[in-house]
Structure 1
Amino acid sequence: MTTADPEQAPARRTPARPTERVAALRSAYQADLAHGTDRFFHPRRTDCPWCASAALRTRLRTTDLLQHKPGRFTLDTCEDCGHTFQNPQLNSEGLEFYYRDFYDGLGEERLGKTFSARTTVHRNQARSVLAHNPAPRHWLDVGTGHGHFCTTARDIFPSTTFDGLDHSQGVELAERAGRLRRGLRGLLPELAPRLAGQYDVVSMLHYLEHTTDPSRELASARQVLRPGGLLLIEVPDPRSRSARLLGRWWLPWLQPQHLHLAPAANLRHRLEALGFTVVLEQHAEAHDPIDLLAAAWLLLDRLAPREDAPWHPGGPPGRLRRTLRPALLLAGAPLLIAAMLLDRLLAPVAGRTGFSNAYRLLARRTT
């Protein structure tokens, strides 16, 4: 989901051809990187942002394995409550830099196709609400991106009106395309006061992990819900055995975008403290069987020569690099196929064996 807390950069008008678009952005990116990446981070924390414990250990050090933008990122885990968080955390300037051209701009077409193809996942997410409210009037999807979840959920809840909230321009495109009744551009804590009590359901699907302050987001979700309304949350599970097995190649780490990864118990307790009652917790149902496939792809992509991108030093890749990259990826196709088949084979037992890569909570506002 396309959500974070960066300052908004002005819209950029770029040529249509990919090589020209990259060339047009190169000077701005190189200027951003001229003084290194240290300025993109807050000072390092010495305590847990969830429980304030000082018992921290480093869990992971990695780089940007998707866009390959420069920078190194560290995830720490609290020994007392199990919360995992980026430390040091990106500041607003860093978030703007690393989100830029991922969900929109250069990455818009690729990510749009990815999300639009996830109909089955979106349907399963929406159906988890059905038994607890079969006909909500108004639903707000926070971190909606281009509104693809709402399009699928409308098939299950045909009488429901869907609004979407996101900080990126994708939400405005989704409204114009008819996927949303209203596309609200901004940050939930800032918009919550004028949306207070308007919604029967609020969904946060792979959203909280992107936010700088998850507790504030949860409090804002309570504010926009009517009494008795439902909050649907799905997030990566940092206690998944796949995370330990695959290390930095576990896709849900998604550095540098994922800032906070809370275990289910932490999230349950925080919701209860805010006046919610958790009515549903799902692990197996929230599992997305892509861990091995994604790890294999990330590894192959890491080994292959880089695609042209404006944040890489130097100019466009030469003919040799342009030839070697597709050749290596083609040679790795059997590995990708085998990983995909193994993901699907293991999916039915992932929930029972601790390998689910996500969990889902449904909570009712009771106070």
Structure 2
Amino acid sequence: MNRTQEVAQLRVGYQRELAHGTERFHGPRSTTCPWCGSSRLRTRLRTIDLMQHKPGTFVLDECHDCSHSFQNPRLTPEGLDFYYRDFYDGLGAEAMEWIFGVKGSQKRYLASARALLPFGTSRRWLDVGTGHGHFPQVAKTVHPDTVFDGLDVSEGAEEGKRNGRIAEAYSGLLTDLALKLEGRYDTVSMFHYLEHTADPRAELTAARTVLAPGGHLIIEVPDPESAMSGVLGRWWMPYFQPQHLHLMPFANLRRELESSGYTVVAVERHEPHTPFDLTGAAVLLLGHALPPADEPWHAQPPSDLQRKARTTMFWSAVPLVAGVYGLEQLLTPLLRRTRFSNAYRIVARSGVA
């Protein structure tokens, strides 16, 4: 079956769901901050799905008191299923395999893996939100004596095991599997995972359950305090709506770890920066401007004229996007060392000092 046939087949199911609207995918709006309980909220962002272009509107609110940002109203489990579908798997699997396997991603994985070197050799490592297991595959070159397992809500972990990237694959939520995996791991990693979760605090607790005494938790997340978020607005890729449910300021997450029984042993505010803000904004703008692609969540396939216009516009814009990418790579050494850095890392040991 080719892609056109697959889309036509999937369109029936998508249109049946969309006939009931997208409002039902949202829970009730919260009047208080899920992090500190304050009722002093402001709207930080109102946007649409700029990645897949599925129907719907999404709002990020920010707490005036603790600066925590969160999707409000939040997607229900049914809504998350709808908006994740065909992104990492299904129709989107091939694109995601390319994105997470490119050289730039591998360099980032190496840097993340090396961040654990000062803390000795890990016997067994669980990568939470592993996707198709690309990080463990690269991390093995840094930690050759470590056994890497992976956990993900998608089917990607199973594929990672089939491809030899991880030794053991778990499908589901860490919060549901924690007791089964109690004390099994010396290291748990959460790379750009925590912001996707409904309850980050519960994830930190679950990680402590999974860790052996003295084990390490390493977290990397987008930095909502990045100055680039104000410059680019809705086109700032780390907003990543509708998938990112929480954006946690560094100080908030550090305090939460310390109050949850972890000892923070290393922090990095700049090196985890992903040099893709300007390029990502250009890609999102281009995708928004192009005529619609043939996707099953669109009621009708594009006309021949729309297809031709999309192809022409896309290839005409490629040199511009490539130029933005080149400029961003030149600026990265500077951006990484300033408030424009877009991510941070925390390494914490299970158990207080």
Q: Does 1:21 align with 2:6?
A: yes
Find out whether 1:75 has 2:60 as its counterpart: yes
Alignment of 1:247-326 (within 5 A): 247-314=233-300, 316-326=301-311
Matched AA of 1:123:
L
SS in 2 for 1:165: strand
What whole-Å deviation, never above 9, does each CA across 1:303-349 have from its counterpart, x for those lacking one?
A: 111110000122x2111111111211222223212211221122112
Aligned position for 1:59: 44
Cα distance, 1:351 vs structure 2:
3.3
Q: Deviations over 1:212-269 (max 9, x none)?
A: 0000000000110111111000000111001110000001101000000100100000
Amino acid at match of 2:344: Y
Q: Distance in 2 between matches of 1:345 and 1:268?
A: 31
- 1:24 and 1:313 mapped to 2: Cα distance? 12
Task: Determine the C-alpha separation between the residues in 2 that align with 1:104 and 1:33.
Answer: 20
Provide the residue aligned with 1:333 in structure 2: 318
Q: How many Å apart are 1:283 and its aligned residue?
A: 2.0
Matched, 1:358 2:343: yes
Q: Which residue of 2 aligns with 1:224?
A: 210
> Matched residues in 2 for 1:124 and 1:51: separation?
33
Equivalent of residue 234 in structure 1, options 220, 234, 237: 220
Aligned counterparts of 1:287 and 1:62: Cα–Cα separation in 2? 24
Segments of structure 1 that go 5 or more residues without pairing to the other structure are: 1-15
| 8 A Cα contact 2:223 2:250, kept in partner | yes
5 Å-filtered alignment, 1:144-155, equals 144-155=130-141
Q: How far did residue 104 of structure 1 move?
A: 0.3
Deviation at 1:78, TM superposition (A): 0.4
Structure 2 Cα separation of the partners of residues 99 and 129 of structure 1: 31
Q: How far, CA to CA, are the matches of 1:296 and 1:260 in structure 2?
A: 24
Normalising by structure 1, report the TM-score: 0.94
The answer for the alignment partner of 1:113 in structure 2 is 98
* Residue aligned with 2:271, SS: helix
Aligned partners of 2:350, 2:150: CA distance in 1, in Å?
20
In the alignment, the residues of structure 2 paired with residue 337 and residue 22 of structure 1 have an alpha-carbon distance, to the nearest angstrom, of: 29
In 2, the alpha carbon distance for the partners of 1:278 and 1:347 equals 27
- The Cα RMSD (Å) is 0.9
- 1:207 aligns to what? 193
> Equivalent residue of 2:149, what SS?
strand
Question: Using the alignment, how far apart are the partners of 2:187 and 2:255 within structure 1?
Answer: 20
Q: Kindly, what percent of the aligned residue pairs are identical?
A: 54
Whether the 8 Å contact between 2:270 and 2:338 is mirrored in structure 1 is no
Helix, strand or coil for the counterpart of 1:257? coil
2:115 aligned to which of 116, 120, 128: 128
Aligned residue for 2:119, secondary structure, equals coil
Higher mean C-alpha deviation, range 217-226 or range 328-337: 328-337
Structure 1 residue 48 corresponds to structure 2 residue 33: yes
Code of the aligned partner of 1:230:
H
- 2:123 maps to 137
SS across alignment from 1:286: coil
User: Which residue matches 1:7?
Assistant: none
State the one-letter code of the partner of 2:160: A
* 2:4 partner letter: T
Give 1:11's aligned residue.
none
Q: Which residue identity lines up with residue 354 of structure 1 in the other structure?
A: R
Separation of aligned partners in 1, 2:334 and 2:305? 44
Which of residues 168, 177, 185 in structure 1 aligns to 2:171?
185
Q: Which runs of 4+ in 1 moved over 2 A?
A: none
Q: TM-score, normalised by structure 2?
A: 0.98
Equivalences, count: 350
